[in-house]
Structure 1
């Protein structure tokens, strides 16, 4: 009887992105490397930098041995769901007028506080010099 393979979306794999809960995707397979992260010769940054993508190029470029490839199999939790291989991009507002207005308002927001501070400093300076 064949073993059922869990399908994991890239978004689900990317949510496991901390040292205490780390999944990586390599060659379409998803691995839970949480228990191995401290033992990895390349350090934990290698795993944490691989979130949200298939890290097959990074894995292959590192020149892993066959022993390393065999070790990986015990960490496999499933295969990447081919119907959802990317993390959804953030939604950009469709109303361009709102976006343009927000850009126009930025200088006002950034200059309001410093302008008020300068005005108060000038007034306090004149009041101080008057005495």
Structure 2
């Protein structure tokens, strides 16, 4: 009779991120390495730094030996549930619906319209005065 493998979401695995309760995800497999943290040659902080995400790249970059890979099997507790989205679906607003930032920008432009108009008016006035003075010389 085949053994059923427990499936966990990345969110579930990432909630186990302390020295007293530490899971890591490597190649779609989840390992509870809590009891191994003190023995890890790179120190527990290296392992704790990769909890809450897929640590496959970091594991491969460290160049773990065949023995280390075999030792990992002792800590295997389940697999990553790939049917569950790793990133929650974002709510997409309608294109024609102005965002809060845009609304705030419109309000500010209504309040401070006089500043750019004043600067433009002064610039135009100075330009006319300069041209008039230059023409009279």
Q: Note whether the superposition's TM-score is higher than 0.5.
A: yes
Give how far 1:52 is off: 2.2
- For 1:35, what is the secondary structure of its paired residue? helix
Q: Runs (4+) of structure 1 moved beyond 3 Å?
A: 94-101
* TM-score (norm. length: structure 2): 0.65
Matches within 5 A, 1:25-104: 25-88=25-88, 98-99=100-101, 101=104
Deviations 1:33-73 (A, max 9, x none): 00001110111112211122211111011111111000000
C-alpha distance in structure 2 between counterparts of 1:96 and 1:44, whole Å? 47
Unaligned segments of structure 2, at least 5 residues: 108-137
RMSD: 2.4
Q: Tell me the number of residue pairs that the alignment of Structure 1 and Structure 2 aligns.
A: 103
CA distance 1:60–1:96, shift in 2 (3 Å): same
C-alpha distance in structure 2 between counterparts of 1:97 and 1:57, whole Å? 37
- For 1:24, what is the secondary structure of its paired residue? strand
Unaligned segments of structure 1, at least 5 residues: 105-131
The structure with the largest alpha-carbon Rg is 2
* TM-score (norm. length: structure 1): 0.67
CA distance 1:29–1:82, shift in 2 (3 Å): same
The answer to whether the 8 A contact 1:53-1:86 is kept is no
Give how far 1:3 is off: 0.9
Structure 1 counterpart of 2:131: none
